[in-house]
Amino acid sequence: MADLPDEVLERIFRNVVQIDLAPSMWLPIATYEGIKQREIARRIRLIAKMRLVCRRWADWLYASYLYDELSFKCAYRASTFIHQLAERPRALPLPQCRYLKVHEIWTSGAAPPGMAEIESLDALVEQFSETIVALDIRFVNFFTLWPSTIEKIGGIRNLRFLRLGIRFTRVGGGKTKGVSVDRDMTVNGLPTDSECLASLLRAVDQKLVALDFTDFRPVCSPTLLGEVLGDYQCSTITTLKLDVKTEGNLTLDGIVRLSAKLPNLKVLWIGGPGHQGEILLPIFESLREKLEELYVTDARVLQPVLNISFPRLRVVRVHDWDRDFPGFLRKNMFASVEILALNCFPFHKKHKKILPWMPLATLPHLRRVEFHEASGFLPTRWIEDQCDEHEVERVYPRGDT
């Protein structure tokens, strides 16, 4: 195999080391991230072994796969890695990084030990601007970037996925509050979070297809985001990921306003508990004519919108649901659904008789039901018989039977 043509070797490597996360994408974010990290660790171990075969394999894997995903949480590690790249043998090309993750970015002055800095992100983006496809950046307490860093992110040619997050610290039991912040109140005149987000979205215009706000809560007044975005429309974004959790008294109002700027949004992911579904009502109302796929962690989040008609909605995936869910399926929201995906664990919730029936007769367009994780929690035979009776295909992903 060491003498195979380059194009054949590339195809073999791609098939061997690729990570298929598609079956897990609809799971809760914490579960998905856990599966992803395990797959990445397995992949790294495999690549390390394959590099021992011969020098050609070692160099090829170094350039194309060894650093395919990079993750940093402190400035020291980032600067050390960049120094190592600069010291690599001249014969080795710059390795490719397709997924860059920089977390714990400190924006309030000098970074404490163990934190990353804007400069860390700046240098890494500059280093891998030709190969990055997904960028995952998370800040501590306040989201902001230098205009020059925003410009560099905008220069990433193949950027398709952007995840933004904020981790709030707790000092003396206090809670982070959503306030109106002027630029002269930020460190070194950095833009406010709303200004930064608006500038960042404009910088990556016509590139992004997916935006992840699972852990993103702007601190500034939500009205400011709408003001700085003005008439701007993020026309290429088709997928949006959210989480209904709150931080202190922060809300999703700013993100709700942003959703109105996504005219071609078709896929919506909603994580977190479902008891605050009403705060997402404006998003659903703005998407009622264009939403095609919906992924939710908790079915309860749908309760406030069950009577809204979604004529283009074809796919609904639900991880956690209860005995009320069959009633949900009778509502206007599900009238056009063709594919329904359910996690099977709720079939076996302790002391609960869950989903004894499905009103398939009220779902005229339903053609497939997916039963996920069925190997551990089999759906009832009654449900399976109903699917067969109505000629609805039963699917058990990943070999679950």
Q: What contacts 24+ positions apart, CB below 8 Å, involve 30-38?
A: none
- φ and ψ of 11, to 5 deg: -65, -40
What is the mean pLDDT of the segment spanning 325-352? Answer: 83
Task: Say what the pLDDT of residue 146 is.
Answer: 93
What is the mean pLDDT of the segment spanning 236-246? Answer: 85
Task: Say what the pLDDT of residue 349 is.
Answer: 65
Q: Which residue has the higher pLDDT, 117 or 358?
A: 117
Is residue 326's pLDDT more than 90? no
Which one-letter amino acid corresponds to residue 76? Y
Is residue 103's pLDDT more than 90? yes
Domain boundaries, the chain: 1-66, 68-265, 288-401
pLDDT band at 19; cut points 50, 70, 90: low
Q: What is the DSSP letter of 22?
A: G
Range in 329-333, 343-347, 391-395 the model is least confident about: 343-347
Cα 250 to Cα 168: distance, rounded to the nearest angstrom: 11
What is the mean pLDDT of the segment spanning 271-279? Answer: 81
Q: Find out whether 277 and 217 touch, Cβ atoms under 8 Å.
A: no
Cα 29 to Cα 35: distance, rounded to the nearest angstrom: 10
Is residue 195's pLDDT more than 80? yes
Q: Find out whether 261 and 235 touch, Cβ atoms under 8 Å.
A: no
Task: Say what the pLDDT of residue 41 is.
Answer: 63
> Which residues are CB-neighbours of 88 under 8 A, at least 6 positions away?
none
Task: Say what the pLDDT of residue 203 is.
Answer: 93
Q: What percent of the chain has pLDDT over 90?
A: 32
CATH of domain 288-401: 3.40.50
Task: Say what the pLDDT of residue 180 is.
Answer: 47
Q: How many other CB atoms sit within 10 Å of the CB of residue 151?
A: 13
Q: What is the biggest distance separating any 2 CA atoms in the chain, rounded to whole angstroms?
A: 67
Is residue 27's pLDDT more than 60? no
Q: Which residue has the higher pLDDT, 214 or 42?
A: 214
Per-residue pLDDT tens digits for 132-187 = 999 999 999 889 999 999 999 999 999 999 999 988 885 444 444 444 455 555 66
Cα 112 to Cα 131: distance, rounded to the nearest angstrom: 30
Q: Which residue has the higher pLDDT, 282 or 46?
A: 282
Q: Do domains 68-265 and 288-401 have the same CATH topology?
A: no
Per-residue pLDDT tens digits for 285-311 = 889 999 999 999 899 999 999 999 999
3-state secondary structure of 318: strand
Q: Environment class of residue 177 by beta-carbon count within 10 Å: exposed (0-12), middle (13-18) or buried (19+)?
A: exposed
Q: Find out whether 3 and 21 touch, Cβ atoms under 8 Å.
A: no
Range in 12-16, 120-124, 155-159, 291-295 the model is least confident about: 12-16
Task: Give how far Cα 42 sits from Cα of 16, 32, 55, 180, Å.
Answer: 11, 15, 22, 45
Cα 217 to Cα 164: distance, rounded to the nearest angstrom: 9
Quickly tell me which residue has 């609960």 as its tokens. Answer: 352
Task: Say what the pLDDT of residue 86 is.
Answer: 87
Task: Say what the pLDDT of residue 178 is.
Answer: 46
CATH topology of domain 68-265: 3.80.10
Q: How many other CB atoms sit within 10 Å of the CB of residue 249?
A: 10
- Euclidean distance between the first and final Cα of the chain, in Å? 38
Q: Find out whether 225 and 232 touch, Cβ atoms under 8 Å.
A: no
Task: Say what the pLDDT of residue 251 is.
Answer: 61
Range in 188-202, 205-219, 337-351 the model is least confident about: 337-351
Task: Say what the pLDDT of residue 323 is.
Answer: 79
Task: Say what the pLDDT of residue 32 is.
Answer: 60
Task: Say what the pLDDT of residue 378 is.
Answer: 72
Task: Say what the pLDDT of residue 179 is.
Answer: 47
Per the prediction, the chain carries an average pLDDT of 80
Quickly tell me which residue has 């933004």 as its tokens. Answer: 164
Of 57, 54, 74, 76, which is closest to residue 65 (Cα–Cα)? 57
pLDDT band at 358; cut points 50, 70, 90: confident
